[in-house]
Amino acid sequence: MRVEKIGNAALCLGKMEETIGNIQQADHILTDPPYLYIKTHDFDKAWDEQLFFENAKRLLPDDGFIALFGRGTSFYRWNTRLAELGFVFKEEIVWEKGYITSPCMAILRVHETISIHTKKTGKIRSQKVPYTEQRRYDIEGVVNDIKRIKSAINTEAGLDNILVFLREEKLYSNKKNNGFGITLKSALDRPREISSMQSISKGMKEKSVVKLNSKHYKLSHPTEKPVRLAERVLALISDPGDTIYDPFMGSGSFGAACIRTGRKYIGSEIKPEYFDIARKRIEEAVKHYEQA
């Protein structure tokens, strides 16, 4: 087994079964295991699922998360296995890829699924995504936000609300509260034009469907995931400084995402050619982000 340390990343060349026993602890696991349905690719090989999930339980603290990419029979089996081991299901993310991976099938597949479980007590972090990123593929949503703001400007009450927001980035109701005379409006009470302005200035809350096009014609690995997608998943389950374990590293997208977002990373990969690609990607990420 070969191990290379690059900044806050430790990369292991070897099978998951040979390397996982050497990992002492991780705060969270983010990984994309072989789905066992692409029969023509030599990377999609069977692996010791029982060994992996039992070690996942050993490695993680009670508030740790495991986030798994997957589909089909294997994916449902993995989720059931986690439940049997006492993990608690927290959320499911659908990645809408923006391209078709099954052009010859009856249903054109344009998504993959990520299941998120905690060992016991982990809580999903509430995250904001920049407005232009969240609305990138939703032109109708952008148009509606503009219309709401435009319409509000043409009314005295709407214009007052907007001016208060622009001055203080807050919107207050007329209710009295503890003698101070103002009460912050709840999200349900907030006028829609203010919600639109807050989304533009502060970002939009993350959704269970993530629309993110992948540059599939430039992939280094047949099942490579976008670094930005990994960053958004990491933001939901972890904090900067946490250690993320990925036993199926591939070409290193998750490792690069960890370095870019201030996480520590432990990854393993069985194939030397992908290990070398991952090492170079993570070296580049360390150069630009850890030394900034």
Residue 26, domain CATH? 3.40.50.150
Looking at the fold, whether 249 and 261 belong to one and the same domain comes out as yes
Nearest in space to 235 (alpha carbons), one of 96, 98, 93: 93
Q: Which of 205, 238, 259 is the last residue of a domain?
A: 205
Q: Does 61 share its domain with 190?
A: no
Number of domains forming the structure of the chain: 2
The answer to whether residues 57 and 178 belong to one domain is: no
- What is the structure's pLDDT at 161? 85
CB 29 within 8 A of CB 67: yes
For residue 266, what are the β-bridge partners?
10, 245
In a domain, 132, yes or no: no
Range(s) of the domain holding residue 45: 2-127+206-290
Per-residue pLDDT of the chain (292 residues), as tens digits, is 789 999 999 999 999 999 999 999 999 999 999 986 655 555 557 899 999 999 999 999 999 999 999 988 999 999 999 999 999 999 999 999 888 777 778 888 889 999 999 999 999 999 999 999 999 989 999 999 999 999 999 999 889 888 888 887 665 544 444 444 444 455 556 788 888 998 999 999 999 999 998 665 456 656 789 999 999 999 999 999 999 999 999 999 999 999 999 999 999 999 999 999 999 999 999 999 976 5
* pLDDT at 41 (0 to 100): 55
- Structural domain ending residue among the three candidates 205, 227, 243: 205
211 and 201 in a single domain? The answer is no
Q: Does residue 62 form part of some domain? A: yes
Please give the pLDDT value at position 26.
Answer: 97
For residue 133, tell me if it sits in a domain: no
Which of 154, 184, 205 is the endpoint of a domain?
205
Same domain, 123 and 228: yes
Are 198 and 211 part of one and the same domain? no
